[in-house]
Structure formats: structure tokens, C-alpha cells
Amino acid sequence: MPAAADIPKPALKRRKPNPWVRRFKSPIHNNGLFAAGTIPEGPRVIEYVGEKITKKESYRRAVERIDLAQRTGGAAVFIFELNSKYDVDGSVRWNAARMINHSCGPNCETRVVKGHIWIVALREIEPGEELSYDYGYDIEHWKEHPCRCGRPDCAGYIVRHDQRKKLKRLLKKQKKQSRAK
Ligand SMILES: [Zn+2]
């Protein structure tokens, strides 16, 4: 018989508080996650956890949420690409990483390591600094996702980094058209 201490405890859905981060009201949007102390460059700060779903289910949920966003002004979709077969729906209460906001100049990025999605620090983050990463939204739905990251180089909308030049041209064109009216 193994001693009681050797018997593994059942895995709990509620996770231990993460020592790297604290949750506070964010100047960007709702609640955000902030560095509890200095976070060095490189570590896996927090895992983006959630429900593992198929691409088909993922598409269904995304469409539903984009529709809701259009009606209510909420922007979050919370679905993350895991691999070619599955996505992760992070809109669950026990996923603290869902509170991390988008920024056009983020201090973190997401990395998929062995089937897990991690938020990784891109540089040293000072205590109290808000954590952010690039949500990487496609330009197709840019209008539904205005950005309030407050950076001087903010693109105005949450659009993935390599499409921001395209967005700039689009916004310029729109401005011209509205002036011509
Ligand atoms: Zn921005």
C-alpha cells in the first residue's frame, strides 16, 4: 500500500494563483493582467487554457461571437489556434490569460509548445506593467475591433502586425472618401 502522501491528488480545474501576474482594472479594456514583479525576458508567464474544440465547432462559435460583437460592441472572440485540427476556446472562467489585452506594441507573445499555448515575455517587463500580446486578428473584420492600447504607434484597430500597412492605406482611403462627400 502506498503512503497517503504518494497518492496523486485529482487534478483541479481551479489553478493555483500565478506568481507572475496580478489582475487589475486596465486602461486599455476591462480587467487586464499586470506584472507582479520584474518578469525577465523569455519565461512562459502563463498558460492560455480552455476547452479543446474541433475546427468546425470553433468556426461555429467564432461566427456566433462576431455576430454578438457587432450587436453589443464587445470585441473578444477568445478562440486560439492550437494546430491544424483543434483550437482552444479560452472563454472559461479558469483561464486568467483571457484577460490579457491586445497591444500594437506588445511585451508578450503566444507560443504553442507541445500542445499547450503559452504567453511568453518578449522582453523584461517591469513590476506593475500591463501584459499584452498581438491578438493577430485578420484585417477582414477590422471595423469590429477598435484598439485602445494607447501607444503612439497604435494602428487604431486590432489587426495583425503584417497587415497594418494595408490597414493604414485603407483608413487613408476612407478618410479621403468621407472628405469628398
Ligand atoms: Zn493599438
- What integer pLDDT is reported at residue 34 of this predicted model? 97
Q: What is the pLDDT of residue 77?
A: 73
Quick check: is 46 in a domain?
Answer: yes
Q: For residues 86-114, give the mean pLDDT.
A: 94
Note whether 166 and 139 are within 8 A (CB). yes
Q: Specify if 35 maps to a domain.
A: yes
pLDDT in tens, 112-164: 999 999 999 999 999 999 999 999 888 988 888 899 999 999 999 999 999 99
Q: How far is the CA of 9 from the centre of ligand 1 (A)?
A: 43
Q: Are the beta carbons of 103 and 132 closer than 8 angstroms? A: yes
Does residue 139 belong to any structural domain of this protein?
A: yes
> pLDDT digit string (tens) for 67-80?
777 777 665 678 89
Q: Is residue 121 part of a domain?
A: yes
Q: What is the CATH number of the domain that holds 42?
A: 2.170.270.10
- Ligand 1 centroid to 86 CA: how many Å? 29
- pLDDT tens profile 22-81: 999 998 888 899 999 999 999 999 999 999 999 999 999 988 887 777 777 665 678 899
**Ligand 1 centroid vs 60 CA: distance in angstroms?**
28
The pLDDT score that the predictor gives to residue 125 is 98
- Chain-centroid distance of CA 40 in Å reads 20
Q: How far is the CA of 103 from the centre of ligand 1 (A)?
A: 5
Domain count, the chain: 1
Q: Is residue 2 part of a domain?
A: no
Q: How far is the CA of 66 from the centre of ligand 1 (A)?
A: 20
Does position 7 have pLDDT exceeding 60, yes or no?
no
Question: Across the chain, how many H-helices and E-strands are there?
Answer: 2, 10
- As a whole number of angstroms, the distance between CA 107 and CA 87 comes to 24
**Is there a domain that residue 6 lies in?**
no
pLDDT at 158: 93
The per-residue pLDDT for 9 is: 54
Beta carbons within 10 angstroms of residue 13's beta carbon: 8
Name the pTM for this structure.
0.82
Q: Are 121 and 44 in contact (CB under 8 A)?
A: no
Residue 7 lies in a domain: no
Distance 32 CA to ligand 1 centre (A): 15
State in Å: Cα 175 to ligand 1 middle: 19
If you measure from the C-alpha of residue 153 to the centroid of ligand 1, how many angstroms do you get, rounded to a whole number?
A: 7
Using the mean position of ligand 1's atoms as its centre, give its distance from the Cα of residue 137 in Å: 12
Centroid of ligand 1 to alpha carbon of 169 (angstroms): 16
Range of 119's domain? 12-180
pLDDT of residue 126: 97
pLDDT at 181 over 90: no
Question: Does residue 36 lie in a domain region?
Answer: yes
